[in-house]
Structure 1
Amino acid sequence: MKNLLYFISFFTLGIALTSCDSFLDKEPLSQIIDESADTASVYTGADAETGIAAVYSGMKTSQSELFFLDHYVNGDAQSDNSYAGADNPDNFQIDDYKISSTNRNISRDWKYFYGLIGTCNGVIERTPKAVGLDAGRRDEIIGEASFMRGFLYFGMVQLWGGVPIVTKPVPEITSDNFAEVYSILYPDSKTQEEVYTQIINDLTTAVNQAPTAYGPTKMRGTKAAAHAILAKVYATRQPADWNKVNEHADAVIASGFSLLPSYEQLWDGMHENSAESIFELDCIGGATGSNWGSSMFVGKDWKKFNTPTHDLVDLFDAEQDMVRKNSSILFQKITSWTDVNWDISNYPFCYKMRNTNGTQNQILLRLADILLLKAEALTELGQLDAVSGAQYYVNLVRSRAKLAPTTATTADALRTAIAKERRLELAFEGHRWYDLKRTGKAIETMTALGYTLNENKLLFPIPQGERDKNINLKQNPGY
């Protein structure tokens, strides 16, 4: 047992043992092993810095499929914003709500989430005792890792609902901690409320300890980023806490962010790490950190993912929103493939990720999202006016798109207007499906477009491969 390779995390991570009791014969499915999780070795300040850097870099390297591709398929192809596109049967399942528990995209995303969570766990567990680390920087690193863990669990709870919560790296197995290690490797599922409690705890730690300043790029978990996710958490967890949404949105706004003057500047590649960006993956091209995902969505060489829907294009046109339409959708003549939804002589691509040389940054959080969340909160709190209430924040976003102020003045009208504004402002950024779910509009919206959808299809299935390895995992209803 003493020669155990240590894990980043539990059942998504593999183990290698020189000898092993029967309970470990049925090892967890995935085989991601990182010896840096060796909890018995001396942990230094340099190790802590390397650990938090590995969390960020993992989003662009070992777990990049999650953030460069699946994040957008899950958030937009499940919604009324886009069809699956391309030729991937697993994506077609997601698009049509006919998902199998053996869907490969869902299985890989589960592993990617837990792989990164495992790296966070090692940093959070070991940094407090790191040798040679300044106390101030120690707290910042713990805050950054806590932000990332909360961010990742928030992604998981939106996709799967209740999931296992593991917050410890796997230690060396001894006769004294056998039961503890078993519970980490083969945990049981937790309720959604328990997961939200963990998320809020992590993000609160980040608010208290994460750095205020970003450094050279926006690829850093800061206090403002934690406030932004907390605003989204309190808008998503039911019942929504609109006072909390408003409080955390205000904290983001007070942190000095501002909308870029032109909507197009968000995507033109010349204004990255801008004043509007709250959390952004810095992509430099080359072998490490290259944004290969941009070539998944635009280009004539092969059929791309996330084909914009007629419904979305029609909405842009109905609202005369040409500024955001032209930045979000590119129409081109195609000769390489056919499509059941579109005439290939005028075929649409989602266009926000357009620089296919790998250097385009990935914006995961930005101010306009938070301004519109604040408008939602103010609507629910009865503050509707155009001076400092919900209308004011909607109009801030609309004015950049060269649109007239909203005509919505009642709470019901503002709810509809804000939902529409979020859809047009944030199209193809991976938000729409979660907006539909949290506002209770997913089934109504998608069935009106001809899809067959019920409550059981609002969550992904727990991957069957994980359940085969861990009998403590409960399948979501309907699968």
Structure 2
Amino acid sequence: MKKISTIISLLLIAGVLISCNDLLVENPVGLATADSYYSTPKGIEDGLKATYTPLRNFYGREHSFFLTVTGTDMYTNGFGGATNNPDYNNYSPNFLGSSAYVKTIWDNFYVGINQANAVIGRAPKVAGLNAVQRNRIIGEARFLRALYYFHLVEQYGDIHFTLEETQGVETEAKRTSVATVYQQGIIPDLQFAVANLPAKAQAYGQATKHAAEGLLARVQLTLGNWAEAEKMAAAVINSNNHSLVKNYSDLWDITKELNTEVIWSVQYTDNPLTNGPGNQGHLYFQFDYTLNPAMTRDVANGRPFQRFMPTNYTLNLFDLSKDSRFDGTFKTVWIANTKATINGKTVQPGDTAIKIVMRPVADAVQKAAPYWLIDYNNKWVGSVTDQLEIGGSSRRQFPTLKKYLDPLRVSVNAEDGRRDFMVLRLAEMYLIAGEAAFRQGNLTKSAEYVNVVRTRAALPGKVAEMQIKSADLNEDFFMDERGRELAGEMLRWYDLKRSGKFLERLKKFNLDAAANVKEMHLVRPIPQTQIDRVTNPGDFPQNPGY
């Protein structure tokens, strides 16, 4: 990890459900064993660092975007998604326990949970630590364990649950209810972390008290514990350790990623020796600008995989006359980097090559423009055939999400992006507090929280027009506002699930998913490899319908 060492413990013990004794070794520590190495202050710190490692196999990775961003009201398959992995978004009958990405996430988080269990169980026995150091180490591990279990229960429902380290091979597993995992695992873990972590990290990227409060606020919102959700979100807001950046677009400036709004982020680096696969988000939300004759692939514009395309709902969500977040979120203009002819006119490097506008444009105007002028006619983006319309060229052309663009990659084809992944940021805390206050009937306070975010989002001179009143608040408003603020940030699938409007909104706004999505899809299939390898399959059934 950047700023946190990338040392991976000699004994990153496979999770209880992986039944594997392979060792992942980056910086070997002689012939040390877990018993001897983890018994020292340095050893247990290295064990803690290894507990962070699974974060990089989730945040900013293709499999995780497919299971958090697509298959929602906001994103559907682009050309690359439809060609390579259509089933996750479309909820097709081919979405099964044998689907690769459900296995990847399952295995990855159980590795993290077992590593956290190892640290939590062994830290009390380590000599040479004072109480504050010991509780900080345990608090970080419990924060990470809570995060890993949160993803697992939300994705899969009832899961195997253990708070003890597995040191050998186990072949039996049982499914524990979601409620039990929350009440006996996630919530007490986060409460301990809140009580024992420092407000400011020793090294950037470490979990802090405010990160634990922020995650607990998200958890309590998910569970419908409105007062607790507001309390935890407000604790972060009122801490004075975080503040919104002035301009929404600055959040996605890669040179400004160490900013005051970040509560906690997963660290990536420009060092290829320690960056692993990197943050690969820059690959997946891209318009294929290389179809334009005046554009060739370059580092600044990125490598376009076109996996994920915004739905009409997303494109219609922003009021461009007053809200800066559309332009802050999406790239809609590309500058030529090679000489070409477009519509009979010579285009030189530095000229506009492509421009997307969010309104219909007459054909004659499009044909007269000295660049591709791509318009929007509010046709379902998946059925557009006109090349000069959003969704055209078989789902290749659409506004590009800026949030993961990485112009600092080392080469044109490099996949290992160096951008940190913001997991928790302050704007979400205002939205959580606002929604929680609304659910408790405190509409005035709710509007106050939300208006802080909307004030930052306002275009110059439009602050007054961006303010909302109590009468504007309802459940759909909060879903829409979270969409405007948090588009593409790996939260939407969870938001839809907790909203109770998963099916309604999928059928209304994602026409690729509408025909297939059912109640069963509120949880993913358990990986078939997991079911196959337990010796008590009667206690570990597949989720209904898969």
In structure 1, the residue corresponding to 2:182 is in which secondary structure?
helix
User: Who is 1:93 aligned against?
Assistant: 87
Structure 1 residues 91 and 195: CA distance shift in structure 2, 3 A: farther
Among candidates 231, 240, 257, match of residue 272 of structure 1: 257
CA distance in 1, matches of 2:45, 2:82: 38
**Does residue 384 in structure 1 map to residue 443 in structure 2?**
yes
1:94, distance to aligned residue in structure 2 (A): 1.1
User: Who is 1:348 aligned against?
Assistant: 399
In structure 1, the residue corresponding to 2:263 is in which secondary structure?
strand
Conserved 8 A contact 1:384-1:409: yes
User: Who is 2:295 aligned against?
Assistant: none
User: Who is 1:362 aligned against?
Assistant: 421
Counterpart code for 1:377: A
| Residues 376-426 of structure 1: per-residue CA shift (max 9 Å, x gap) | 1111112111xxx0111111111111152444423x833332221111000
User: Who is 1:107 aligned against?
Assistant: 103
Among candidates 184, 189, 196, match of residue 175 of structure 2: 189
User: Who is 2:188 aligned against?
Assistant: 201
User: Who is 1:253 aligned against?
Assistant: 237
User: Who is 1:23 aligned against?
Assistant: none
Structure 1 residues 46 and 234: CA distance shift in structure 2, 3 A: same
**Does residue 458 in structure 1 map to residue 458 in structure 2?**
no
CA distance in 1, matches of 2:526, 2:83: 18
User: Who is 2:413 aligned against?
Assistant: none
Question: Which stretch of the first structure deviates more once superposed, 390-399 or 130-139?
Answer: 130-139
**Does residue 213 in structure 1 map to residue 213 in structure 2?**
no
1:88, distance to aligned residue in structure 2 (A): 6.8
User: Who is 2:367 aligned against?
Assistant: none
User: Who is 1:10 aligned against?
Assistant: 16
CA distance in 2, matches of 1:437, 1:11: 26
Structure 1 residues 369 and 66: CA distance shift in structure 2, 3 A: closer
Structure 1 residues 292 and 418: CA distance shift in structure 2, 3 A: closer
Counterpart code for 1:264: S
Question: Which stretch of the first structure deviates more once superposed, 195-204 or 352-361?
Answer: 352-361
Conserved 8 A contact 1:307-1:350: no
User: Who is 2:119 aligned against?
Assistant: 123
In structure 2, the residue corresponding to 1:278 is in which secondary structure?
strand
Counterpart code for 1:325: F
Structure 1 residues 89 and 108: CA distance shift in structure 2, 3 A: farther
Among candidates 227, 239, 256, match of residue 243 of structure 1: 227
Paired residues, number: 437
Conserved 8 A contact 2:15-2:110: yes
**Does residue 41 in structure 1 map to residue 30 in structure 2?**
no
In structure 1, the residue corresponding to 2:145 is in which secondary structure?
helix
CA distance in 1, matches of 2:452, 2:114: 40
Structure 1 residues 364 and 69: CA distance shift in structure 2, 3 A: farther
Conserved 8 A contact 1:260-1:266: yes
In structure 1, the residue corresponding to 2:423 is in which secondary structure?
strand
Structure 1 residues 10 and 77: CA distance shift in structure 2, 3 A: same
Structure 1 residues 53 and 39: CA distance shift in structure 2, 3 A: closer
In structure 2, the residue corresponding to 1:428 is in which secondary structure?
coil
* RMSD of aligned Cα (Å): 2.6
Among candidates 455, 465, 469, match of residue 399 of structure 1: 455
In structure 1, the residue corresponding to 2:20 is in which secondary structure?
coil
Conserved 8 A contact 1:298-1:304: yes
Q: Please, which runs of 5 or more residues in structure 1 have no aligned partner?
A: 16-30, 173-180
CA distance in 2, matches of 1:203, 1:231: 10
CA distance in 2, matches of 1:53, 1:7: 14
User: Who is 2:283 aligned against?
Assistant: 295
Conserved 8 A contact 2:102-2:524: yes
Question: Which stretch of the first structure deviates more once superposed, 125-134 or 412-421?
Answer: 412-421
**Does residue 447 in structure 1 map to residue 507 in structure 2?**
yes
Counterpart code for 2:286: V
Question: Which stretch of the first structure deviates more once superposed, 138-147 or 98-107?
Answer: 98-107
CA distance in 1, matches of 2:304, 2:404: 16
1:155, distance to aligned residue in structure 2 (A): 1.0
Conserved 8 A contact 2:281-2:405: no
User: Who is 1:325 aligned against?
Assistant: 326
CA distance in 2, matches of 1:6, 1:347: 42
Conserved 8 A contact 1:264-1:327: yes
Structure 1 residues 210 and 6: CA distance shift in structure 2, 3 A: closer
Among candidates 165, 183, 195, match of residue 161 of structure 2: 165
1:208, distance to aligned residue in structure 2 (A): 1.6
Counterpart code for 1:189: R
In structure 2, the residue corresponding to 1:270 is in which secondary structure?
helix
Counterpart code for 1:10: V
1:241, distance to aligned residue in structure 2 (A): 1.2
Conserved 8 A contact 2:63-2:104: no
Structure 1 residues 89 and 186: CA distance shift in structure 2, 3 A: farther
CA distance in 2, matches of 1:249, 1:407: 20
Conserved 8 A contact 2:434-2:449: yes
User: Who is 2:542 aligned against?
Assistant: 475
Conserved 8 A contact 1:13-1:115: no
Counterpart code for 1:348: P
1:246, distance to aligned residue in structure 2 (A): 1.2
**Does residue 234 in structure 1 map to residue 220 in structure 2?**
yes
User: Who is 2:342 aligned against?
Assistant: none
Counterpart code for 1:433: W
**Does residue 69 in structure 1 map to residue 62 in structure 2?**
yes
User: Who is 1:433 aligned against?
Assistant: 493
CA distance in 2, matches of 1:306, 1:348: 11
CA distance in 2, matches of 1:202, 1:78: 30
CA distance in 1, matches of 2:15, 2:475: 41
Q: Please, which runs of 5 or more residues in structure 2 have no aligned partner?
A: 1-10, 289-302, 335-353, 356-371, 373-380, 385-390, 410-416
1:210, distance to aligned residue in structure 2 (A): 1.8
| Residues 142-196 of structure 1: per-residue CA shift (max 9 Å, x gap) | 0000000001111111111111112222236xxxxxxxx74xx522011110111
Question: Which stretch of the first structure deviates more once superposed, 82-91 or 153-162?
Answer: 82-91
Conserved 8 A contact 1:234-1:241: yes
